[in-house]
Amino acid sequence: MKFLVTGGAGFIGSNLVDYLIEEGHTVKVIDNFSTGKKENCNSNATYYDIDLSNENNLPLIKNAIKGVNGVFHLAAFPRVQKSIDNPLIFEKNNTLSTVNILKACSEMKIKRLVYSSSSSVYGNSSKLPTKEIDQVNPISPYAMQKYYGEVCCRVYSVIYNIETVSLRYFNVYGDKQNLDGAYALVMCIFAKQRMNNLPLTIRGDGNQRRDFTHVSDIAKANLLAMQSKKVGNGEVINIGNGNNRSVNEIAKMMGGPTRRIDSVMEPKETLADNSKAKKLLEWKPSVIIEEWIPSYKKSLGISD
Ligand SMILES: NC(=O)c1ccc[n+]([C@@H]2O[C@H](COP(=O)([O-])OP(=O)(O)OC[C@H]3O[C@@H](n4cnc5c(N)ncnc54)[C@H](O)[C@@H]3O)[C@@H](O)[C@H]2O)c1
């Protein structure tokens, strides 16, 4: 099959591109390298340097997606705090990119678009594990824009005859994650501190828990969502491990001395109910963090 990945030079997108190529598919990528990196590029994919958020680029976008069987839409600015500091820039980038790619897909009669959404749409959910039918409560411009993208996907599937499905990822980790990370993942912060012989900084009591999901499982979920006959009508589906770890537990896995710092406003706990993904996509997570962290530490030269 022929697929196009938007945001394919980023952390998750580049892992998806590599996976699709390994699976024998032909892959094109649209990325403007705003946060994506040239070193993430796969020599077997074709890259188009296009800003998706600019409506004048619609002809270029249509040209790039011509002839593909489906589009994976990942391009976005995924930074919660920065979206709070720069709501207008984020609004333009994250919402217009989604509308432009949906419009291009519908005009080019692309069969299906799989949209990358986020568990951040739930805000500080008190219902755990969180189900797709639970109340959404975005508490940042970024989360609001991710939610709006889901709504756009559903509306386009109803009125413009394009199949869509939205995947709500829980905290994603894995190869090519940025040490200065978009999400400043806790293990990236800890890794940098270990590399600089500094104590690991634990916010608050360290009992906040996250549902960490490996990027290879996210890539698999995307391809399943593209191919499943059971979806395509704007469904939203949680993609999360279904178990979580505390910051204290991650610190223990990373090793070394720790130091407490002030807490920030953040959800106490995230935890996915992933039964819908299991049922509709026949997806199940396969990587557990305890097995991954030792290889991560080794790749960065961090001793135990
Ligand atoms: N990393 C996570 O834990 C996580 C969790 C939930 C959802 N997501 C979603 O997954 C997607 C990918 O996230 P990531 O962590 O890989 O981020 P990333 O910043 O590494 O990748 C985003 C990519 O999109 C590109 N891009 C951004 N705006 C663009 C535009 N206007 N035109 C063309 N390209 C553009 C960037 O250059 C970059 O390559 C995002 O949609 C994000 O909201 C990520």
pLDDT tens across 101-129, in order? 999 999 999 999 999 999 999 999 989 99
Among residues 77, 83, 80, 87, the alpha carbon closest in space to that of 120 is found at 80
CATH number of the domain enclosing 194: 3.90.25.10
Ligand 1 centre distance from Cα of residue 8 (Å): 8
Query: Which residues does the annotation mark as catalytic?
Result: 142
In a domain, 279, yes or no: no
Residue 97 reports pLDDT greater than 50: yes
Task: Looking at the structure, tell me whether residues 103 and 125 fall in a common domain.
Answer: yes
Q: What are the tens digits of pLDDT across the range 5-27?
A: 999 999 999 999 999 999 999 99
Ligand 1 centre distance from Cα of residue 89 (Å): 15
In a domain, 201, yes or no: yes
CATH number of the domain enclosing 63: 3.40.50.720
Task: Looking at the structure, tell me whether residues 111 and 148 fall in a common domain.
Answer: yes
Cα separations in angstroms, 108 against 29, 67, 111, 170: 16, 8, 9, 31
Best residue among 15, 28, 31 to mutate for probing ligand 1, ranked by most atoms within 8 Å of CB: 31
Cα separations in angstroms, 256 against 201, 250, 253, 304: 11, 11, 9, 8
Domain enclosing residue 64, as ranges: 2-171+213-239
Round the average pLDDT of the chain to a whole number and report it. Answer: 95
Task: Looking at the structure, tell me whether residues 94 and 206 fall in a common domain.
Answer: no
118 lines ligand 1 (CB under 6 A): yes
Q: What is the pLDDT, as a whole number, of residue 265?
A: 75
Residue 184 reports pLDDT greater than 70: no
215 lines ligand 1 (CB under 6 A): no
Among residues 186, 189, 291, the alpha carbon closest in space to that of 246 is found at 186
Q: What is the pLDDT, as a whole number, of residue 79?
A: 87
Cα separations in angstroms, 145 against 129, 137, 216, 267, 281: 23, 12, 25, 18, 25
Measured CA to CA, the distance from residue 285 to residue 116 in angstroms comes to: 17
36 lines ligand 1 (CB under 6 A): yes
Give the chain as a 3 state SS string: CEEEEECCCCHHHHHHHHHHHHCCCEEEEECCCCCCCHHHCCCCCEEECCCCCCHHHHHHHHHHHCCCCEEEECCCCCCHHHHHHCHHHHHHHHHHHHHHHHHHHHHCCCCEEEEEEEHHHHCCCCCCCECCCCCCCCCCHHHHHHHHHHHHHHHHHHHCCCEEEEEEECCEECCCCCCCCCCCCHHHHHHHHHHCCCCEEEECCCCCEECCEEHHHHHHHHHHHHHCCCCCEEEEEEECCCCCEEHHHHHHHHCCCEEEECCCCCCCECCECCHHHHHHHCCCCCCCHHHHHHHHHHHCCCCC
Q: What is the pLDDT, as a whole number, of residue 80?
A: 87
Ligand 1 centre distance from Cα of residue 115 (Å): 11
Q: Of 82-91, 166-175, 265-274, give the lowest mean pLDDT range.
A: 265-274
| Domain stops at, among 224, 239, 254 | 239
Best residue among 28, 58, 74 to mutate for probing ligand 1, ranked by most atoms within 8 Å of CB: 74
Task: Looking at the structure, tell me whether residues 205 and 152 fall in a common domain.
Answer: no
Q: What is the pLDDT, as a whole number, of residue 286?
A: 97
Q: Give me 294's structure tokens.
A: 């030792």
Report the 10 Å Cβ neighbour count for 7: 27
Task: Looking at the structure, tell me whether residues 87 and 184 fall in a common domain.
Answer: no
Confidence bin at 182 (pLDDT 50/70/90): very low
54 lines ligand 1 (CB under 6 A): no
In a domain, 21, yes or no: yes
Best residue among 5, 29, 30, 34 to mutate for probing ligand 1, ranked by most atoms within 8 Å of CB: 34
Report the 10 Å Cβ neighbour count for 61: 27
33 lines ligand 1 (CB under 6 A): yes
Q: What are the tens digits of pLDDT across the range 215-233?
A: 999 999 999 999 999 999 9
Confidence bin at 180 (pLDDT 50/70/90): low
Ligand 1 centre distance from Cα of residue 154 (Å): 20
The number of folded domains in the chain is 2
Q: What is the pLDDT, as a whole number, of residue 81?
A: 86
147 lines ligand 1 (CB under 6 A): no
Task: Looking at the structure, tell me whether residues 182 and 164 fall in a common domain.
Answer: no
